[in-house]
Amino acid sequence: MDNAERLFNEIVKEYSERVYWHVRRFVNNHEDADDLVQEIFLKIWTALPSFRGEAQLFTWVYRIATNETLNWLRREKVRSALRFTSIDAEMERRIDSDPFFDGDAADRALSKAVAKLPEKQRQVFILRYYDEMPYEQMSEVLDTSVGALKASYHIAQEKVRSALGKDIFIGSD
C-alpha cells in the first residue's frame, strides 16, 4: 500500500461518516446520499495528488464534498424541471417518503424549511446548525468571510423560524 492509498484510507476512516451526514441533509434521501458520497470519495482519490497541504485536510475534504453536493443539486433542479415539478416540491416529497427519516413532525417541518432556503443560506445553515462547524472553519470551506457567514446564518435562521413558527428554538447565532 503506497502513501496515497494510506492517506486515502485515513480520510475514509476519519471523514466518511461526517461527509455522509452532511450530504444527506442536502439530498434528503439515503440512496442518493450513498451514491453521492461514493462520487465525492472518488473525486477525493483522483484529486489527492494535487493536495499540497496548504489547506487543512478537513477543509479540503469538506470543500470537495460541498462542491460536489451543489453540482448534484443543480442537476437535480434541471431533472425536476424536466419532470414538470419544482426542486422544492421534489425535496418535500423526498422528506415525506424517506424510510430512514425518524424524526417527529417538528423535525420534518425543519427539514422542509431548510430545503427551501436559497443555496448559499442552506449551505451555511447545514454547516452551522447540523454539522456544528465553527465560523472560522466554515470561512475556509466556503471561502467567505466570517462576518458574511454570520449574516447569512442569521437570515437563514429568521426564514426557518418564520416558516416553523416563532416558538421553536433552533439555536442562536
Cα gap 43→59, rounded to integer Å: 15
Q: How far is the CB of 35 from another protein (least distance, A)?
A: 11
**Number of residues written out for the chain:** 173
Angle (CA) 126 131 135, round 5°? 80
Q: Which is nearer to another protein, 5 or 145 (CB)?
A: 5
Q: Which is nearer to another protein, 103 or 147 (CB)?
A: 103
> What φ, ψ does residue 133 adopt, rounded to 5°?
-85, 135
Contacts of 173 (CB under 8 A, 6+ apart): 150, 153, 154, 157
Binding test (CB under 8 A) with another protein, winner from 49, 50, 53, 100? 100
| Residue 117 to residues 5, 16, 25, 43, 66, Cα–Cα distance (Å) | 38, 26, 12, 27, 16
Q: Which is nearer to another protein, 1 or 54 (CB)?
A: 1
Binding test (CB under 8 A) with another protein, winner from 47, 56, 67, 75? 75
Cα gap 44→26, rounded to integer Å: 19
122-161: which residues touch another protein (CB under 8 A)? 129-130, 132
Residues near another protein, by CB under 8 A? 4-5, 8-9, 12-13, 16-17, 20-21, 24-25, 30, 34, 37-38, 41-42, 45-46, 71, 74-75, 77-79, 81-82, 84, 86, 98, 100-104, 106-108, 110-111, 118-119, 129-130, 132, 168-170
